[in-house]
Amino acid sequence: MTVVLGLVGVAFLVAGGWMVWWNLSCPELRWDWDRCDVDETRFPKEILWGVATAAHQVEGGCDNNNWSHWEKQTNARGQPRIKNDDKAGMACDHWNRYSQDIRLMKELGVKAYRFSVEWSKLEPRRGEFDDAAFAHYLDLCDALFEAGISPVVTLHHFTHPLWFHESGAFEKRENIEPFARFCEEVFGRLRSRVKMWCTINEPAVFATQGYFTGLFPPGRKDLQQTGEVLVNLLEAHAVVYRRLKALPGGAEARIGLAKSIFQFEPWRRASLLDWMVTGAVNRLFNDCLLDGLRTGKFRLHIPGLVRVKRSLPDARGSLDFVGLNYYSHLHARVRLDPKEPFELRYRQGDTMTDMPYVIYPEGFYRALHQVATLGVPIYVTENGIADAKDDRRALFIRRYLYAMHRAILAGCDIQGYFYWSLMDNFEWSEGYSMRFGLYEVDFKTQERRLREGAKPFLQAIRGGSLQST
């Protein structure tokens, strides 16, 4: 018995010593903003500046996909799935107003526009392609060309046709094939206008929100299935990359994936438990995909919760560039309550966005270094703030662009930056309550108005300093 107690005591001493060492050896990155020279931020003239949107969030008329179906439903408590019972509906009517919106992009001075194509409009029924819908996207690309703006097309941005949804979507490995065929069709018809492609937007968000938190369709809460959807999405990306590369024009095209990074940090840096839980969530949300792209091996194993392994040699080297979508990080504190195993906590003095995310530019710097390990050029494919009052947007833009500037100086090969978003739009389960736009949208009149807080972005594009005026 004495021996056992002795061993337990030693174990605690070792664990306690580890926690103190770890906490001291890797404090959370925080800069002294009073000493950061944000005004002197400059960017290489080669940086490609753009804005980003997604079809379902801006186009209007996306009424035959997994999201339009989801928006009509209520949850187990009979509450609407979308805040304020919003529906994407006409959204920003971008389908009809894209010429006007391209003029707004020109006013900003951006040279690229990242948008997604709506699969449910292009292939409303399996194997039946709608020529008029393809003609619309060709017209959009031609109008962008006239304006001197390059299109960057995302092939899957959370939405897909109801027939694909009802077939199980990416829960089933065999559904990679119909997605790949769709991508080949789009590539074949748009390749003369589009030279840069994102296969899938934020696989980890699609999988965790749809199959772990249940906030996105199909509203499951099954970690094992989350892992299976994740590995199928990684395989789908790799298959699409190889298939498009094999098509005429494929070798010249630049094909990547838009990867979200959201750091999950221990609330108590000396708590082994907080480190273990946040480490598991980081593995799920960030690292298993990055490792899969790096090594061609997908490994996700959280004992007792999820175990998915798959060798995907085609995933290795399946990026001509990596897209990074970055917003913030979260702190979690483990609770010994099975109903609520951990709670999110916020540090005193942190400035919050409306989401609410913490404004944490240091995390952007960290995330840029994380994706830099993939060894390919980086494009920031999304970065922005929900700020309806427009009283934090300028600060956000100045500090995140400063963080990107420091990452470039540190050697990260950052070649472009797309602001999220051009204009206010449908923010998924948050509906229209979250205002991410450089342009404010009055959804009653569809008027767009440039926000004061957008000014630092215009300064950066024009190669000026971020001098606060």
- The contact set with ligand GCO (CB under 6 A) reads 54, 57, 201-202, 205, 260, 325, 382, 420, 427, 436
From the centroid of its chain, how far is CA 444? 28
- Whole-number Cα distances in Å, 163 to 79, 119, 426: 26, 11, 23
Nearest distance in Å: CB 186, ligand GCO: 19
**Of 418, 466, 439, nearest in space to 114 by CA:** 418
Nearest distance in Å: CB 377, ligand GCO: 20
Q: Which is nearer to ligand GCO, 157 or 331 (CB)?
A: 157
Q: Which is nearer to ligand GCO, 118 or 382 (CB)?
A: 382
> Dihedral through CA 102, CA 326, CA 122, CA 423, nearest 10?
-30
Does the annotation count 202 as an active-site position?
yes
131-146 and 94-108 helices cross at what angle (nearest 10)?
20
Identified catalytic residue from 202, 228, 235, 265: 202
Q: Which is nearer to ligand GCO, 54 or 240 (CB)?
A: 54
Q: Which is nearer to ligand GCO, 191 or 366 (CB)?
A: 366
Nearest distance in Å: CB 420, ligand GCO: 5
Q: Which residues pair with 300 in a beta bridge?
A: 308
Tokens 């995933």: give the residue: 315
Nearest distance in Å: CB 91, ligand GCO: 12
Q: Are 122 and 130 in contact (CB under 8 A)?
A: yes
Nearest distance in Å: CB 108, ligand GCO: 18
Q: Are 423 and 438 in contact (CB under 8 A)?
A: yes
Does the annotation count 177 as an active-site position?
no
Reduced DSSP (H G I as helix, E B as strand, rest coil) percent helix, strand, coil of the chain, to 5: 45, 20, 35
- Which residues, at least 6 apart from 233, have a Cβ–Cβ distance to it below 8 Å? 170, 200, 203, 206, 207
- Which residues, at least 6 apart from 79, have a Cβ–Cβ distance to it below 8 Å? none
Identified catalytic residue from 71, 235, 382, 427: 382
Q: Which is nearer to ligand GCO, 57 or 318 (CB)?
A: 57
Q: Are 43 and 460 in contact (CB under 8 A)?
A: yes
Nearest distance in Å: CB 250, ligand GCO: 25
Vertex 190 angle, CA 186 and 196, to 5°: 95
Distance CA 361, CA 86 (A): 31
Q: Which is nearer to ligand GCO, 51 or 334 (CB)?
A: 51
Hey, which residues are catalytic here?
A: 202, 382
